[in-house]
Structure 1
Amino acid sequence: MSEAGTEEKEADHHPYRRPVDAATLILVDRSGAIPKVLVGRRHDKVVFMPGKFVFPGGRVDTADGRVPVAASIPAALEANLLKGSPKITSARARSLAVAAIREACEETGLCLGRKQDGVAPALSGPWQPFADAGLLPDPSGLFLIARAITPPGRVRRFDTRFFTADASTIAHRVEGVIHADAELVELVWVELGSKPLADLHPMTKNVLNELDKRLGTGALRHDADVPFYHFYSGKMHRDILGALQSPSA
């Protein structure tokens, strides 16, 4: 799990650390009158954000760029991921989307994939649940909602891309991932604007506001503006990816 802003109580005087690429996935259920998002409650005894509701996410692994997928990421999603600086490659854009799917499956047991007829996917490690279900990860249903970089001077720094996907893209559920001794002890679908979301990290609430605005316009689209939250001159700035931006530290 990663939060682009990290926690406010963390010291801000550490040596400069280069942000690590990370991805977060916000699953949304739009079957009712008010959209719901999936959050997980962290164990009370973990060091980082104990007892808090969070979205699944984490840093990109090297293997994320090599795992086979059921479909390519949409060209419009790739274009959004390639905007901004520092510049990344198309391969890195793919890795970010795949990392969001892997983290969601690892932390919640919910897998976004597609069946492969007659062929057992050659997957292992964190991707074993996909192989067991005859699936390959499918990033074709992901949308980029926002990007955020942790301020300088923090112990942990992430360059996080926040993705969303509709709940209908969930193809498989791994049992036993959520339990009393796990990192996430429960999963809850909560309505946007409801009480459990009021205790989220401020940056995550910013991203949820962006998602709420997107959903208010109807269907999720790749051509909507993607905000970029970053810090320079000691202040947080909200720019739009692809627009003229000031350097981020």
Structure 2
Amino acid sequence: MSAEPLENSTSDVPVRDAACLLVADLSNAEPKLLMGRRHSNQVFLPNKWVFPGGRVEDEDRHFAKQFTGQFSPADLADEIKPFALAGIRELFEETGLLIGKEGALPETLPAWQTFAASGHAPAPANLIPFARAITPPGRVRRYDTWFFLAVSEAVSADRSATDDELLDLGWFTLSEAAALDLPNITRLVLNDVAELLEAAPVFRNSAERLPFYYSAGSSFHRDLISCKVAPPMP
């Protein structure tokens, strides 16, 4: 899910936490990214092409507090860990792609029930945070979204069952993705990930300076932040 909702006259829309997970296939000369199209009957971004993702649930936060596995970077700020776990969960629900390793979850969490049934535990060490965006005021929905990148080699299983939230799932080169009907923030993030992939295989060291998109007053900002400290609020 992108952080760019439709415009609305309502100004007091709460900002909800969300995560997007970009999966990159680097097996060929030109990278490809997994994207899907939202349903035409959805109020939020109908027919727009987006990366898999969705809201951070309270159970993701609870899970993050007891999760003993590794994150990337190893000193990822605790406040961002629930976003990474939510990204893995949403990717599995929307695409059937599973980033994890064999094992059981520490306890029964309803939001993670389908994932747990696969016999895997999430592996957030395979995710690289690379951008953050807060939806500008005046939209029908607003999100504080963290974007993560994972390579297709990190996918440990591919299940066919999905929640059908995304249509026409497919792999697109960067130029093909740029030609799709994208929300504004998705296009900005696409440019960011293109720069990141150019640095492969050393892009795992990029966590120190991440683009952060937000609005303050009538201005739109792109700051650089770290994911190793508590995220700032504009």
- TM-score range (shorter-chain normalised) is 0.7 to 0.9
Deviation digits for residues 102-146 of structure 1 (CA, Å, limit 9, x no counterpart): 111111111111012xx6864453423332322001101111111
| Residue in structure 1 matched with residue 99 of structure 2 by the alignment | 112
| Residue in structure 2 matched with residue 169 of structure 1 by the alignment | 154
2:210 counterpart letter in structure 1 = V
| Residue in structure 2 matched with residue 55 of structure 1 by the alignment | 51
Q: What SS does the corresponding residue of 2:115 show, helix, strand or coil?
A: helix
User: Are the equivalent residues in 1 in contact too, given 2:130–2:206 (CA < 8 A)?
Assistant: no
Rate the CA distance shift 1:95–1:164 in 2: closer, same or farther, 3 A: same
Deviation digits for residues 122-181 of structure 1 (CA, Å, limit 9, x no counterpart): 445342333232200110111111111111222211111011111111112222326xxx
Counterparts of 1:69-108 in structure 2, within 5 Å, are: 69=67, 71-76=69-74, 78=76, 82=77, 90=78, 92-108=79-95
User: Are the equivalent residues in 1 in contact too, given 2:60–2:82 (CA < 8 A)?
Assistant: yes
In structure 1, stretches of 5+ residues that fail to align are 83-89
Please give the alpha-carbon distance, in whole angstroms, between the structure 1 residues aligned to 2:109 and 2:233.
Answer: 40
| Residue in structure 2 matched with residue 85 of structure 1 by the alignment | none
Please give the alpha-carbon distance, in whole angstroms, between the structure 1 residues aligned to 2:120 and 2:169.
Answer: 23
Counterparts of 1:16-31 in structure 2, within 5 Å, are: 16-31=12-27
Please give the alpha-carbon distance, in whole angstroms, between the structure 1 residues aligned to 2:73 and 2:31.
Answer: 27
User: Are the equivalent residues in 1 in contact too, given 2:38–2:165 (CA < 8 A)?
Assistant: yes
Aligned length, in residue pairs: 225
1:232 aligns with 2:232: no
Deviation digits for residues 191-224 of structure 1 (CA, Å, limit 9, x no counterpart): 1111564311111111111111011122222335
User: Are the equivalent residues in 2 in contact too, given 1:121–1:131 (CA < 8 A)?
Assistant: no
TM-score (norm: length of structure 1): 0.81
Rate the CA distance shift 1:25–1:195 in 2: closer, same or farther, 3 A: closer
| Residue in structure 1 matched with residue 134 of structure 2 by the alignment | 149
1:221 aligns with 2:204: yes
1:4 counterpart letter in structure 2 = A
Equivalent residue for 1:208, pick from 190, 202, 211: 190
Deviation digits for residues 51-108 of structure 1 (CA, Å, limit 9, x no counterpart): 2221111111010123365722134561xxx4xxxxxxx1x32111101111111111
Percent of residue pairs identical: 39
Q: What SS does the corresponding residue of 1:146 show, helix, strand or coil?
A: strand
TM-score (norm: length of structure 2): 0.86
